[in-house]
């Protein structure tokens, strides 16, 4: 880490996308609507009939009982739990419309409930939701079925119910164990509570347990975060997601409650990231990529070793190029060569379904150039390298000619020790992994043409 100089930071620590998709969601257009999405679903039905390609499902549950100040997710803060029943009614309509167009009983190998707070739903409501999924889709044996859990909303008994419903993976939102940081972001939860829940989840036989952490939060210091890292190593989850806090109060109203003066900056944030990577790798974790760590026997680490890693809207995934059907308000999905997003407000979402229409309000049909660049960017983000010949064979192009300007720009990164160029391709160095988003950004033609990048978080 001594190689990360202030000059490198000033040159390459710039705002940029996280590349959970390419093109990124800010490029979606309203010209892509319901009819375009239906066509994609119908094409999938025809195309997959012979190949039996599995699906991934994402269900967005927007409700939260309390507001976390750092949050940039689409959520509705309420203590009125009756809203959940109405929401489930509309989810049922949306699911039925999907299977009307893509066929009932399609195989699903991955299901994720995100939010918001999915555990805002009662046990009975979660049971109803899983029954709905099984009625319309075939959840394959051995699939990954995960749910995001706010530790403040579950008990040992609730964890047992989640296991009975078929969930085999849990993601606990921890963020930081330091009480001062928790108070500053309005999310107070004792470390002892999390430790007890994780222990119970292991006893119940969950296949994988993930913990989410955030660095760059108010009141954090490298020293306080180091204490959290020690506690997380003691907790020993199967996976760790480590995110940089993106302070964008002009876009996300809850963040206006955070005092900018309380935020760690520059070298302190870098020290937190560096300390986390060192602590987790010393603890036996595999550095999967930009923001994920996993124990060597976890499926995510295995996928990394075998070259099967991919990124989708939930981050790194073991499901490469798997179509993703997204359900619920604001949810983003990928079917074939297209992305789509549902209405962002409950009113719009309900109105569309009341009219018997899928609630898609925008999206994007990818061009051949988009797909070729997506392949390059995902290879950078997931494997840290790009080999020219496979890309040329897959996309019928001359890589050196097609990406001539990008390869020229990579030479500056090579000169700074961030990657190594060769006749066969290029590979990100250990130092370059800190700036891997910056490497990927060079192949983002939309971003290169748009200098207004303030809407993105910084890459460190």
pLDDT tens readout for residues 217-257: 999 999 999 999 999 999 999 999 998 898 888 888 889 99
In 3-state terms, what secondary structure has residue 310?
Answer: strand
CB 299 within 8 A of CB 249: no
Tell me the backbone φ, ψ of residue 39, rounded to 5 degrees. Answer: -60, -40
- Residue 1 is predicted with a pLDDT of 47
Minimum mean pLDDT range among 71-80, 119-128, 316-325, 357-366: 316-325
- Residue 159 is predicted with a pLDDT of 98
- Residue 312 is predicted with a pLDDT of 81
Q: What is the pTM of this model?
A: 0.91
What count of Cα atoms within 13 Å lies in the side-chain half-sphere of residue 225?
Answer: 27
| Tens digits of residue pLDDT in 296-308 | 999 899 988 888 8
| Tens digits of residue pLDDT in 83-95 | 999 999 999 999 9
| Tens digits of residue pLDDT in 430-446 | 888 888 899 999 999 99
Question: pLDDT band for position 51 (50/70/90)?
Answer: low
CA 235 – CA 216 distance, rounded (Å): 22
Question: pLDDT band for position 370 (50/70/90)?
Answer: very high
CB 60 within 8 A of CB 344: no
Residue 166, burial from CB neighbour count under 10 angstroms (0-12, 13-18, 19+) = middle
- CA 379 to chain centroid: 16
Joined together, the tokens standing for residue 130 give 């899983």
Tell me the backbone φ, ψ of residue 366, rounded to 5 degrees. Answer: -80, 140
> DSSP letters of 99-142?
HHHH-TTEEEEEEEEEES-GGGS-HHHHHHHHHHHHHHEEEEEE
| Tens digits of residue pLDDT in 155-206 | 999 999 999 999 999 999 999 999 999 999 999 999 999 999 999 999 999 9
Beta strand 137-149 pairing with 106-115: parallel
Tell me the backbone φ, ψ of residue 287, rounded to 5 degrees. Answer: -80, 95
Other C-beta atoms lying within 10 Å of the C-beta of residue 382: 23
CA 169 – CA 152 distance, rounded (Å): 18
Question: pLDDT band for position 459 (50/70/90)?
Answer: low
CB 214 within 8 A of CB 175: yes
**Does residue 388 carry a pLDDT above 70?**
yes
Question: pLDDT band for position 277 (50/70/90)?
Answer: confident
- What is the chain's alpha carbon radius of gyration, rounded to the nearest angstrom? 22
* Residue located via tokens 């679903």: 41
Joined together, the tokens standing for residue 389 give 């010949």
CA 130 – CA 327 distance, rounded (Å): 13
Question: pLDDT band for position 16 (50/70/90)?
Answer: confident
How far lies 120's CA from each of 62, 84, 115, in Å?
9, 8, 9
Nearest to 173 by CA among 306, 31, 70, 260: 70
CA 345 – CA 342 distance, rounded (Å): 9
- Residues ≥6 apart with Cβ < 8 Å to 155: none
Question: pLDDT band for position 309 (50/70/90)?
Answer: confident
The pLDDT of 147-161, averaged and rounded, is 95
Joined together, the tokens standing for residue 34 give 């319901």
**Does residue 287 carry a pLDDT above 70?**
yes
Other C-beta atoms lying within 10 Å of the C-beta of residue 35: 11
Nearest to 51 by CA among 281, 323, 435, 295: 323
Helix H or strand E segment including 11: helix 6-12
More confident residue, 450 or 277: 277
Q: What is the largest CA-CA distance in the chain?
A: 61
Delineate the domains of the chain, giving CATH numbers in brackets: 1-12+367-449 (1.10.10.920), 20-327 (3.80.30.20)
Tell me the backbone φ, ψ of residue 146, rounded to 5 degrees. Answer: -120, 155
């Amino acid at each position: 880490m001594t190689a990360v100089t202030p000059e490198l930071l000033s040159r390459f620590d710039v705002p940029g996308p996280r590349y959970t998709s390419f093109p990124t969601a800010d490029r979606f257009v309203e010209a892509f609507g319901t009819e375009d999405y239906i066509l994609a679903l119908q094409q999938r039905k025809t195309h997959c009939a012979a190949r039996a390609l599995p699906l991934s499902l994402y269900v967005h549950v927007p409700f939260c009982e309390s507001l976390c100040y750092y949050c940039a997710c689409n959520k509705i803060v309420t203590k009125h739990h009756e809203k959940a029943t109405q929401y489930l009614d509309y989810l049922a309509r949306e699911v039925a419309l999907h299977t009307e167009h893509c066929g009932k009983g399609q195989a699903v190998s991955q299901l994720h409930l995100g939010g918001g707070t999915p555990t805002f739903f009662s046990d009975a409501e979660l049971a109803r939701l899983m029954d709905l999924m099984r009625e319309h889709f075939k959840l394959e044996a051995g699939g990954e079925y995960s749910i995001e859990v706010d530790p403040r909303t579950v008990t040992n008994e609730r964890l047992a119910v989640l296991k009975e419903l078929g969930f085999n993976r849990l993601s606990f939102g921890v963020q930081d164990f330091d009480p001062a940081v928790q108070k500053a972001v309005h999310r107070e939860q004792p470390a002892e509570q999390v430790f007890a829940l994780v222990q119970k989840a292991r006893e119940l036989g969950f296949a994988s347990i993930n913990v989410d952490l955030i660095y760059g939060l108010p009141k954090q210091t490298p020293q306080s975060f180091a204490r959290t890292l020690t506690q997380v190593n003691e907790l020993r989850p199967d996976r760790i997601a480590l995110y940089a806090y993106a302070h964008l109060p002009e876009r996300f109203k809850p963040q206006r409650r955070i005092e900018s003066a309380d935020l760690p900056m520059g070298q302190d944030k870098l020290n937190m990231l560096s300390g986390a990577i060192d602590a987790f790798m010393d603890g036996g974790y595999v550095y999967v990529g930009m923001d994920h760590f996993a124990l060597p026997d976890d499926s995510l680490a295995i996928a990394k070793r075998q070259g099967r890693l991919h990124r989708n809207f939930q981050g790194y995934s073991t499901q490469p190029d798997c179509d993703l059907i997204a359900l619920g308000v604001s949810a983003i999905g990928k079917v074939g060569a297209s992305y789509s997003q549902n209405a962002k407000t409950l009113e719009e979402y309900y109105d569309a379904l009341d009219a018997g229409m899928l609630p898609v309000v925008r999206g994007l049909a990818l061009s051949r150039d988009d797909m070729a660049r997506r392949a390059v960017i995902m290879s950078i983000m997931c494997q840290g390298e790009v080999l020219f010949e496979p890309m040329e064979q897959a996309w019928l192009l001359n890589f050196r000619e097609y990406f001539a300007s990008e390869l020229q720009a990579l030479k500056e990164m090579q000169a700074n020790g961030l990657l190594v160029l060769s006749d066969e391709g290029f590979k990100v160095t250990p130092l370059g992994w800190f700036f891997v988003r910056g490497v990927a950004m060079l192949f983002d033609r939309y971003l290169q043409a748009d200098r207004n990048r303030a809407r993105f978080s910084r890459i460190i």
